[in-house]
Structure 1
Amino acid sequence: MGDHREFPAVAPGHCLPKTSSMSVTDSVTAVHDFRVTGYSLLDGMGVGRFVSSSTFTVGGLDWAVRFYPDGSTANCLGNASAFLYYFSREKDVRARFTLNLIENDGRLSQVTNSYMKHTFSPASDNWGFIKFIEKSKIKGSPFLENDCLTIRCLLTVTKESRTQDVETNSIVVPPSNLHQDFGNMLQDGEGADVTFTVCGQLFHAHRCVLAFRSPVFRAELFGPLRENATECIKIDDMEPMIFEALLHFIYTDTLPDNCKDGKAAAMQHMLVAADRYGVDRLRLLCERKLSDAIDVETVSTTLALAEQHHCSQLRGACIRFMASPDMLGPVMLTDGFKHLVASCPLILKEVLDEVSRIWRDKSS
């Protein structure tokens, strides 16, 4: 017969002690774009030979993409191959990934290769697509622009499962909304004690907020040469939209929605404003967005801007882009390049030195 013992009786008004736990399995997802330049020079390099991306980190582990222009093995004749390599070999790791070619403007117009799942280990450190794309389909396709291909790796790394206790306290604490409160304070204008007129448009703000977020505003508003509190501070060399975005960032530490598309012209003006008022995080954010948006038409003006405002990281990204194979010629035909030659002639030597270094590395 079965065991029909009853649970011990609980006195009215008393609860049994209770604990809970749960198993948690997290994952980390990231994207890495591998730009392959000079594709026509790689075609015919031989089966099993590859070019590799730099090592990138996802989930605390090191990875790289390898592209085989003539295929990884003799069995994939007429096809290029692409593989994901795992370099952190101290433990097995489960991953889900895909490799696809993207068009020159960054769009993934069609998914040619579906997701793969694989457990990477010292014995199986690579996995991928033997028949990544037929070579005959590359030439004349939207993937090949200026003899360049870009392979996008979308990688999800599954972390080791862990067990954690579940708190019985059910009180939910919402995330911080401090930035929203400060944004509302700027929008409402309540308590504002300083006014700016920017090309005829008025902006009301709070001296203390500006001073603690910008050393330039601190000197202007509280320093020995501070503006009179009753006067309107006049700014005629900045667009109202840019000044409004600057104030928005100072109050909320975020870009306004109309600046999040990362358009080069707006980001260039924002970088100038951030540098002028010493808002370093905004300046670096603009540097990153401008670096992501570099193309033949914008690289020269962006480089001139980086040179004038001492943006070393953005400056380096521009020089590397201009020096990459088959890029310098089209760049030299733009109006921006003519402006660069006139305003920053010494920078051209560094561009040519970088071109020389790249060709030297290829020939060695």
Structure 2
Amino acid sequence: MGQNTTSSVDKPTSETSSRCLIECVTGAHNFEVTRFSLLQGMGAGKFVSSSTFSVSGYDWNIRVYPDGLKEDNPVYMSAFLRLCSGTTDVNVKCTFSLLEKDGRATNLESLTHTFQAVGGSWGWSKFIEKSKLQELLDRNDDRVTIRCVLTVIKEPRTEDVSMILVPVPQSDLHTHFANMLKDGEGVDVTFSVADQLFSAHRYVLAARSPVFKAELFGEMKETTIKCIKIDDMEPAIFEALLNFIYTDSLPSNFDVDKNVALQHLLVAADRYGLDRLKAICKG
């Protein structure tokens, strides 16, 4: 006998999102040593230090060892970064370079390290050979400038993307259109209502009213007339009609409690095919 099977209905997949954010702060410090050749011969393990500089709330300085950090590397100059103050276990990315007289950087060295204790140092015991260093001193008037670019990497944090609410300002499109009508900039058609003139923009009227679209861009004579006469309508009603076309609302000074005014506006809304305005007047 055959076995009846029930086909499963695909259900929408539930989906959530999260994001891991890694923030960092970068700073730079230039440490210049003049008459550097006078320091050579001071002995391994002897150093000169830069002033203290701060990056992301941590204090640092640069230590330069002209004769190397240890006696087993006497032909190298050593350079180290030292954590002077701040919390422990700070993760950094550090780049040391030597600056030429014209500001060009040479001898770039980079590292990433976690300083676990204040007073800890990390760097290069063989930063540059003394023979190459001497060539640099000859070019730079016996000066050495070490540039340190230091990036402190903060602890990663994860956030739920779906919970991030970005405040969105309320729409102000109606305000811009109201100002455009009020200022009269770019108007290209004028209406005469009981000898009172109203200026407007053809494309705005056509976009909002099918009747205006036919009058202004169809085969009717109004397409070539710049001043169109409106009969059987009061200026206040036409002004309210224009305000609605531009802002999708009645003017603030329009008295909705006056049934006569609403009846006239209802007739105008029907005349120009403004269904939303008709519903407002009926309500």
Q: What's the TM-score, normalizing by structure 2?
A: 0.50
Please state which structure has a larger fraction of its residues in helix.
Answer: 1
> Which one has a bigger Cα radius of gyration?
2
Please state which structure has a larger fraction of its residues in strand.
Answer: 2
Q: What's the TM-score, normalizing by structure 1?
A: 0.39
Which protein has greater RCO, CA pairs closer than 8 Å, 6+ apart? 2
